[in-house]
A and B are shown apart, each in its own frame.
Chain A
Amino acid sequence: MSNLIAWIIRAIPFGTIIMYGAMGEILTEKSGNLNLGVPGIMYLGGFAGFASAFYYENNAASPNGAICILLSLVCCVAASMLGGLIYSFLTISLRANQNVTGLALTTFGMGIANFFGVFILNGKSYTAAPLANSAYARKIPFLSGLGAVGQTVFGYGFLVYAAIVLAVVLHIFLNSTRVGLNLRAVGENPATADAAGISVTKYKYLATCIGAGISGIGGMYYVLDYNSGIWATTGQIEALGWLAVALVIFTTWRPLNAIWGAYLFGVLYWLYQFLPSLMGFTVASYVTDLIQMVPYVVTIAVLIVSSLHKKKENQPPAHLGLAYFREER
């Protein structure tokens, strides 16, 4: 039982990281932009959030948790949106190839974060922002003390719950508002949307930049909450970013599916550690290496199955990955 609880409390925060990444990417892809720069954007967001919190903590006379949260959140979203803006300018205005631009953005974002991260590390192998971490990881008072349910349902920082709210908001936005409908039209058939008087460029820019902002929060959540507010030079965020891209496919581009999909990915990711002890047997460490491929294999299976069924509502946006030029037909 305690093992199961430990598994859930690992899986849900893990899922939250990639849920932010995936929700941002869903919004972006709904506009027809396949942004493979998600890992880079998560790096930018994670680093900007950490750096701002770190400097605030160490330079303010009496640092305050709420201001720390506000400041790091603003910096994180701003940095991620800047990353999204580079991508948007190149792919939307200059019509550069989306896959290649996204991959270049991943290289660039990872470089920026780890390069400037070293100045903060200042020779150490890691640095921490304890105040920001305690502010972000603060559990719901009282409710989180209610036994197993309290631990597994109420025992997380506020960003976990914000992610769920955001998923619901995105769902309503995409399915029940005019702007959301317009956005989907842009992703499915920009020429038709254009003819209907929708500004394709504006929608694509906004969806991509706001999507990048949301994805970036995932990176910040990883650093300031999941990783206990510790910044170190790692390639970990990159793997998480690709997992977020995988999750977008897994959810078949629906934000509500991202909620349970993300937690399922979290459970699958930690499978290698908790399943053997839960079932009461030990496995060799090389088997755990193999188990780590499970989330990716599951994603491939979903990809294949959804292409076999050809159900219209499970397909990627029809114009995904293609640039739009009005005079082309």
Chain B
Amino acid sequence: MSNIIVWVIWIVAAFACIASAVGVVTFSNPFYSALALIGNLSALAVLYLLLGGEFVAAGQVLVYGGAVMVMFLFVIAYLGDKTDEAPWAGGPSWQIVGAVLAAAAVGTEVIFAIASNSSSSLQHSPSIARSFGSPEQIGRLFLTDHLIAFEVTSIVLLVAAVGGVVLGSHARITDDDARA
């Protein structure tokens, strides 16, 4: 019984994922694209929950669906009418060719992944430890096995914060404009 419920939840979340991702790419108004991406992130959080990643799912909703998307929406609102009728690629045809090639490559990967299931080597064990994906386990891994990744992440965030301040500072803009 619980089996069927899991499948139903998975199918609904997966369709929501695909549909909202297509929406992000096809909407001409960036505001609707950003809203579709919020739906995409929420559907992904459901999938993460099904995979036992409670902490990552919570982080996804808080950091991505909350903070990052609010930043996106603020910028879209700030730019206002400049973002209207976001154009589709009409110029170089290599962009279209590249898109088709990328789609073909990833589609091939998907077919291989499904085909290799015939050996059933990709079936994961139905039961996992209760602590799997808990904040305690992830925090322990961050501070033991992946300490360098943790520190590098903090440096990346610091550099991004400095870059955001430099790009957004008014004084620098007016300085450059005065010189130009």
Q: Do A and B bind each other?
A: no
A interface residues with partner B (beta carbon < 8 Å): none
